Structure 1
Amino acid sequence: MENNTFAFAGERFADLQMLRYCLNGFEQLSLQQKKYIYYLAKATLTGRDITTDQFGKYNLPIRKLLENVYLHFPGDRESKDFLAMTVYLKRVWFSNGIYHHYGCEKFQPDFSESWLRKAVDDTPFESLPGNYRSKQEMMDVLCPVIFDPNVLPKRVNQADGEDLVKTSACNYYEGVTQQEAEKYYEQLRRQAGGNEQPSFGLNSKLVKKGGKLVEERYTADGLYGEAIRKIVCWLDKAREVAENEQQRRVIALLTDYYRTGDLKLFDKYSIEWLRENEGDVDFINGFIEVYGDPLGLKGSWEGIVEYKDNVATERTRKIASNAQWFEDHSPVDPRFRKAKVKGVSAKVICAAMLGGDEYPSSAIGINLPNADWIRARYGSKSVTIGNLTEAYNQAAKGSGMNEEFVIDEETRALIRKYGDLCDDLHTDLHECLGHGSGQLLPGTSPDALKAYGSTIEEARADLFGLYYLADDKLVELGLTPDKEAYKSQYYHYMMNGLMTQLVRIKPGHVIEEAHMRNRALIARWCYAHGNGTVEMVKRDGKTYVRINDYQRLRQLFAELLAEIQRVKSEGDYETARQLVEEYGIKVDADLHKEVLERYRQLNIAPYKGFLNPKMIAVTDDHGEITDIRLDYSESYEEQMLRYSKEYATL
């Protein structure tokens, strides 16, 4: 496969389809840049076991158990149970554990417990995962977790009124209640005082020992130490071939943070990372996003290596260079705007390697750091991941989704003409400006919205992008070709929020994931408050979205953005709860049934994920690296088994 060949769809199983992404322009990078990417990629892949363990305390032994059976089972490998176990294992690989990567519900296996117990008895094990003393003990512990739907059923529970810590299976707390955890971190914030506090809890597990709460920090000599030491080793190698002195400074701060667990060092690293914009290569490596914690405090481990797409970056540069204009003209209360926007940088990048919580399912845009005070004082760095977006767009062509769900040919033509462009622009606006816009009022805790914080923040960024997508400023800047283009995104967004994202929900379930809740909240609020601006109409027995007034819809986005920003700035927990609970969670059973049936006939996998390229170091007779070769031929099974062998750390 040539380096410039475009991404294509690969293996499909369960509700998932694997895609390949290409490293366009990689061959034109210098040898030093390629080596830098190679070592950063190694650091990115080395944290895999950390993420799997964070997502559930039994995930790693279950994965290792199933891999051993898959590799060494001597029985009938074409039997229904073995094939069902293979699909289950592939889902475990994809989700970094036994819980759905999006809905967070536990997978229900299509093979029997009795079959698995016998398969384990018949299969040789070099060593038992999880330090179990016998196969019997191992199976007695793991089988209820795998087979009993009532044992640890949800990775992240967001149900209002329940103890979210006790009812979530994620491995961030042990023996702790929600009230205890919230009180513990509130005390830390009060003791620290000031407005420039570290992100308490980000890099630790909170456990109760001897009746006292203790943080077990993720450090080179602490929890996950074996994995972190290897990550640091690869980062040290990368530091030796970095493009500039600032990159070397950034890596040094990151490795010092990994060694000590000092969150103030993480803040220093984040600030210096923001200041590095000269090199073409960049990376994210660490405990970053908090969606996997029901309290929104603890970071899941992730890694991305990237290099700049200089041509596409011109688009985001125009947006970033006008950040102050967008902030000044935002429809929110002036009290909540930033008087001076600082340090906004944005670029379109090519992903070179994905790891941890960004693999195989990855974001297509990133805005960091997450600390509000750092954003306010130093700015933020935004990226749109162009080669992943292209892969998604390529996979969607000819799927039949628009033909089935878009109301008429006129609207479909609008989406065909402007859809990809406006999707990219909305992502750019969301990441480059939306997350970095606005400010908290003095004294407002960044964690005041608690379990609803992630949904509100994503809604805020989405609304910022939607509002400005229809602005004449984008035409003036040459980002949209005319005043009609935005309509493609408005229609697609409302259709998705009101209808088509329901294909990702099982019958009888509610919406759980923060991004999905955000889209439902926006679409349903506008539908409810628009007085006919948006309608749900029936044609030939099928439901469609119809937008009667696009400019009025823009005004609705503005009104909701103003309220969402107020909620965020003031830390209005009760209104956040009401908005999310009323508009973001519930599912209309009849509409859901209809959407699922129509979607089923299209035979499309609702979720996509990515296979990484295999990077091969070419060396001379002295062992010196002379090139980095890319191999795109590795299958999903081969890649996952190789990672489990080469990057086994826990």
Structure 2
Amino acid sequence: MGFNYQDERFADLQMLRYRLNGFEKLSLQQKKLVYYLSKATLFGRDITFDQFGKYNLRIRKMLEVVYVDMNMPHDNDDFKALEVYLKRVWFSSGIHHHYGCEKFKPGFSAEYLREALHQVEACKLPLKSGETIDEMCDELFPLIFDEEVMPKRVNQADGEDLLLTSAMNFYDGVTQAEAEAFYEQQKQQNKMHDTPPSYGLNSTLVKENGEVKEQVWKADGKYGNTIRHIIYWLRKAYDVAENDKQKSSITLLIMYYLTGDLQFFNHYCIEWLQDKESKIDFINGFIEVYGDPLGLKGSWEGLVEYIDEEATHRTQTISQNAQWFEDHSPVDSRFRKPVVKGVSANVICAAMLGGDEYPATAIGINLPNADWIRAAYGSKSITISNITDAYNKASKGSGFKEEFVSDEETLHLIEKYGDVCDDLHTDLHECLGHGSGQLLPGVDPDALKAYSSTIEEARADLFGLYYIADKKLVELGLVPDEEAYKSQYYTYMMNGLMTQLIRITPGNQLEEAHMRNRALIAHWCYENGDVIKLVKREGKTYVEISDYAELRSLIARLLAEIQRIKSEGDYEAARDLVERYAVKVDAELHAEVLDRYKKLNLAPYKGFINPQLMPVYDENGEISDITVSYSESYAHQMLRYSAEYGTLI
């Protein structure tokens, strides 16, 4: 039997599996390194839940107790609805949608849940000291059943206090103005520092007795119990590290976790990105800031990976020519890097996903995020081949392209070139896009505030779109001919103008940074040129592109402006672009797209069940091998993770 990529489906979600291709060829030392790093990755799970909402962990535990109770009837509609709700909570690390950020609506009643909680053993419930079951219900039920209570995990609505209207748990009792003033003061105090920290990255900002202060996430601070478990497994990984450079980066990461000192994080990032020799690599820590409406606080995430040797040839070709791409960029020469440093890129196989990278994960990553480190030392990019492969395998024969692509000629173009160009655009986005350009001297990296994530993603996407159409890629052997790029241009514009709307609830606007970025690019090109049209045939809307070369010129113009905004820190221009092109949804078109998509009976979101890594022991109790199992169900994996890695509740 072949490998089954698709697993169960519920709500708007489809669970997939990914294969660890070539894992059996790793040495025993490398397998042990993957195993230890995977344990460090899985232990961070509870941090992500807590970061995404202060009540998430208690709600998860409460629902899990009901779900596994052997005396609970499982054959009624209320229990089945509770099961779906719990699976969504597991998937999103909380009670808000992982992508749209709106709160889930339960399909069961408050009366049913209260009655069920009175039937289970009270000692298993997450009760506070002296708290009754009814008191717990009174505290937690509004979070589940009242639509007005914490309705959005991350609110990006212009003109509102983004902290007081967001449910994320990075700030407690602090207004947006207070938070911005707090970190602006820190920057002013350290403005002469030539290695500035990523202010606020690893702390909760709270107000105590009227004073704003940070609760730092470290071994003897907030999340300390979890962090100490992570450190334990990082030390085990240190013992089997591949080389001294990798040992050094692990040591610095441990020091950062022990102290919470962001300068240690800077040193770790530099050491990590300079490790070009290790076949096994990992991400572990407070990294991406999309979960914070101010773009400061890092959500915890983990990823363990090993190099896909064959596919890495593509990304290495790109990175080896990074200076050429930078020199020929259509942006103002003031904003280009005179010397591109330290750009490395690999195609990798994911071996374990954790935190904000699980169950939904990125297909490409470029780190570190600090602009000054990128400028001085470069960046490291990865494209995740086995995740991309799983997505591609699962989408074959879905009927999606046939429904939304305008004509047979374009459909044939996409079938011929689509997979190649999708992978290549991801590579260009991660390897070169994020690492391109430079800030002008004195520009604050956080000057764009709530719009920074959208602008940065648009910048990287535009860089990739511009160059995927360049003859240089044919010369380098990265695309087969000068027609291939058209498949990417078409699918990108179709997605940005129409099909990404399948992920939006009717009546909502675009909130997520990547969705806003795609909408910004597609709508700007649509409105500022005459090459993209939305045509209607037999009641269905289609995208038509009349001049691909002219579309590339539009992309070049927008890239130049987006880079200017980033380089100059032009907040007002960023705000104007995003609010004008990237937020609003055409209700009529949205309804049509949803109706057409519904008839395909597809899930708009995908996520992954991790493989299970299992050590084999010899007669002396030493690990003699690590085997891989793909048999674990989604619910079993989530319950096992709660039992084995539940460190905060």
TM-score between the two structures when normalised by the length of structure 1: 0.99
- Partner SS, residue 122 of structure 2: coil
Q: Return the alpha-carbon distance in structure 1 between the equivalents of residues 128 and 390 of structure 2.
A: 41
1:43·1:234 contact (CA, 8 Å) conserved in 2?
Answer: yes
Q: What does the per-residue CA deviation read over 1:352-385, in whole Å, with 9 as the maximum and x for residues that have no partner? A: 0000000000000000000000000000000000
Q: Return the alpha-carbon distance in structure 1 between the equivalents of residues 279 and 314 of structure 2.
A: 16
Where does residue 357 of structure 1 map in the other structure? 356
- Partner SS, residue 427 of structure 1: helix
Matches within 5 A, 1:458-477: 458-477=457-476
Q: Return the alpha-carbon distance in structure 1 between the equivalents of residues 3 and 560 of structure 2.
A: 41
Q: Tell me if 1:293 matches 2:277.
A: no
- The equivalent position to 1:119 in structure 2, one of 116, 119, 133, is 116
Name the aligned partner's letter for residue 423 of structure 1: D
Q: What does the per-residue CA deviation read over 1:169-218, in whole Å, with 9 as the maximum and x for residues that have no partner? A: 00000010000000000000110113531001000000000110110000
Q: Return the alpha-carbon distance in structure 2 between the equivalents of residues 613 and 196 of structure 1.
A: 39
| Offset, 1:621 | 1.5
Q: Return the alpha-carbon distance in structure 2 between the equivalents of residues 131 and 116 of structure 1.
A: 19
Name the aligned partner's letter for residue 41 of structure 1: S
- The equivalent position to 1:42 in structure 2, one of 15, 39, 43, is 39
Identity %: 69
Q: Tell me if 1:422 matches 2:421.
A: yes
| Offset, 1:124 | 1.3
Where does residue 140 of structure 2 map in the other structure? 142
Q: Return the alpha-carbon distance in structure 2 between the equivalents of residues 224 and 130 of structure 1.
A: 20
Could you say if the C-alpha distance between residues 95 and 474 of structure 1 is closer, same or farther in structure 2, counting changes exceeding 3 Å? Answer: same
Matches within 5 A, 1:330-341: 330-341=329-340
Where does residue 581 of structure 1 map in the other structure? 579
Matches within 5 A, 1:60-459: 60-72=57-69, 74-129=71-126, 131=128, 133-194=131-192, 195-459=194-458
Name the aligned partner's letter for residue 141 of structure 1: E
Deviates more, 1:600-609 or 1:75-84: 75-84
Q: What does the per-residue CA deviation read over 1:309-358, in whole Å, with 9 as the maximum and x for residues that have no partner? A: 01000000000000000000000000000000000000100000000000
Q: Return the alpha-carbon distance in structure 1 between the equivalents of residues 635 and 143 of structure 2.
A: 24
Greater than 4 Å deviation, 4+ residue runs? none
- Partner SS, residue 360 of structure 2: coil
1:73·1:122 contact (CA, 8 Å) conserved in 2?
Answer: no
- The equivalent position to 1:29 in structure 2, one of 26, 46, 71, is 26
| Offset, 1:74 | 2.1
- Partner SS, residue 7 of structure 2: strand
- The equivalent position to 1:556 in structure 2, one of 540, 544, 554, is 554
Name the aligned partner's letter for residue 621 of structure 1: E
| Offset, 1:134 | 1.5
2:206·2:212 contact (CA, 8 Å) conserved in 1?
Answer: yes
1:20·1:612 contact (CA, 8 Å) conserved in 2?
Answer: yes
| Offset, 1:7 | 5.4
Matches within 5 A, 1:453-532: 453-530=452-529, 532=530
1:7·1:391 contact (CA, 8 Å) conserved in 2?
Answer: no
Q: Return the alpha-carbon distance in structure 1 between the equivalents of residues 4 and 571 of structure 2.
A: 43
| Offset, 1:553 | 0.4
2:205·2:212 contact (CA, 8 Å) conserved in 1?
Answer: yes
Where does residue 569 of structure 2 map in the other structure? 571
Where does residue 53 of structure 1 map in the other structure? 50
Q: What does the per-residue CA deviation read over 1:555-596, in whole Å, with 9 as the maximum and x for residues that have no partner? A: 100000000000000000001001000100100000000000
2:65·2:125 contact (CA, 8 Å) conserved in 1?
Answer: no
| Offset, 1:437 | 0.1
Q: What does the per-residue CA deviation read over 1:538-564, in whole Å, with 9 as the maximum and x for residues that have no partner? A: 111110000000000001000000000
Name the aligned partner's letter for residue 637 of structure 1: A
| Offset, 1:622 | 1.3
Q: Return the alpha-carbon distance in structure 2 between the equivalents of residues 331 and 98 of structure 1.
A: 43
- Partner SS, residue 390 of structure 2: helix
Deviates more, 1:125-134 or 1:148-157: 125-134
| Offset, 1:75 | 3.4
Name the aligned partner's letter for residue 359 of structure 2: P
Q: Return the alpha-carbon distance in structure 2 between the equivalents of residues 129 and 102 of structure 1.
A: 27
1:7·1:394 contact (CA, 8 Å) conserved in 2?
Answer: no
2:433·2:463 contact (CA, 8 Å) conserved in 1?
Answer: yes
Deviates more, 1:119-128 or 1:507-516: 119-128
Q: Return the alpha-carbon distance in structure 2 between the equivalents of residues 6 and 449 of structure 1.
A: 45
Q: Return the alpha-carbon distance in structure 2 between the equivalents of residues 262 and 79 of structure 1.
A: 52
Q: Return the alpha-carbon distance in structure 2 between the equivalents of residues 376 and 235 of structure 1.
A: 29
Q: Return the alpha-carbon distance in structure 1 between the equivalents of residues 419 and 280 of structure 2.
A: 26
1:333·1:562 contact (CA, 8 Å) conserved in 2?
Answer: yes
TM-score between the two structures when normalised by the length of structure 2: 0.99
Could you say if the C-alpha distance between residues 482 and 648 of structure 1 is closer, same or farther in structure 2, counting changes exceeding 3 Å? Answer: same
1:302·1:357 contact (CA, 8 Å) conserved in 2?
Answer: yes
| Offset, 1:6 | 4.5
Q: Return the alpha-carbon distance in structure 2 between the equivalents of residues 267 and 364 of structure 1.
A: 25
Q: Tell me if 1:19 matches 2:16.
A: yes
- Partner SS, residue 126 of structure 1: helix
- The equivalent position to 1:620 in structure 2, one of 618, 621, 628, is 618
Q: Return the alpha-carbon distance in structure 2 between the equivalents of residues 538 and 219 of structure 1.
A: 56
| Offset, 1:137 | 1.3
Q: Return the alpha-carbon distance in structure 2 between the equivalents of residues 526 and 306 of structure 1.
A: 37
Could you say if the C-alpha distance between residues 155 and 322 of structure 1 is closer, same or farther in structure 2, counting changes exceeding 3 Å? Answer: same
1:7·1:22 contact (CA, 8 Å) conserved in 2?
Answer: no
2:66·2:72 contact (CA, 8 Å) conserved in 1?
Answer: no
Q: Return the alpha-carbon distance in structure 2 between the equivalents of residues 124 and 411 of structure 1.
A: 60
Q: Return the alpha-carbon distance in structure 2 between the equivalents of residues 73 and 12 of structure 1.
A: 24
1:349·1:384 contact (CA, 8 Å) conserved in 2?
Answer: yes
| Offset, 1:292 | 0.2
| Offset, 1:471 | 0.0
Q: Which runs of 5+ in 1 are unaligned?
A: none
| Offset, 1:76 | 2.1
Q: Return the alpha-carbon distance in structure 2 between the equivalents of residues 545 and 15 of structure 1.
A: 25
Deviates more, 1:500-509 or 1:193-202: 193-202
Q: Return the alpha-carbon distance in structure 1 between the equivalents of residues 255 and 567 of structure 2.
A: 33
Deviates more, 1:73-82 or 1:181-190: 73-82
Q: Return the alpha-carbon distance in structure 2 between the equivalents of residues 439 and 190 of structure 1.
A: 21
Q: Which runs of 5+ in 2 are unaligned?
A: none
Where does residue 5 of structure 2 map in the other structure? 8
Q: Return the alpha-carbon distance in structure 1 between the equivalents of residues 392 and 573 of structure 2.
A: 36
Could you say if the C-alpha distance between residues 130 and 436 of structure 1 is closer, same or farther in structure 2, counting changes exceeding 3 Å? Answer: farther
Q: Return the alpha-carbon distance in structure 2 between the equivalents of residues 160 and 272 of structure 1.
A: 39
- Partner SS, residue 286 of structure 1: strand
2:51·2:168 contact (CA, 8 Å) conserved in 1?
Answer: yes
| Offset, 1:277 | 1.0
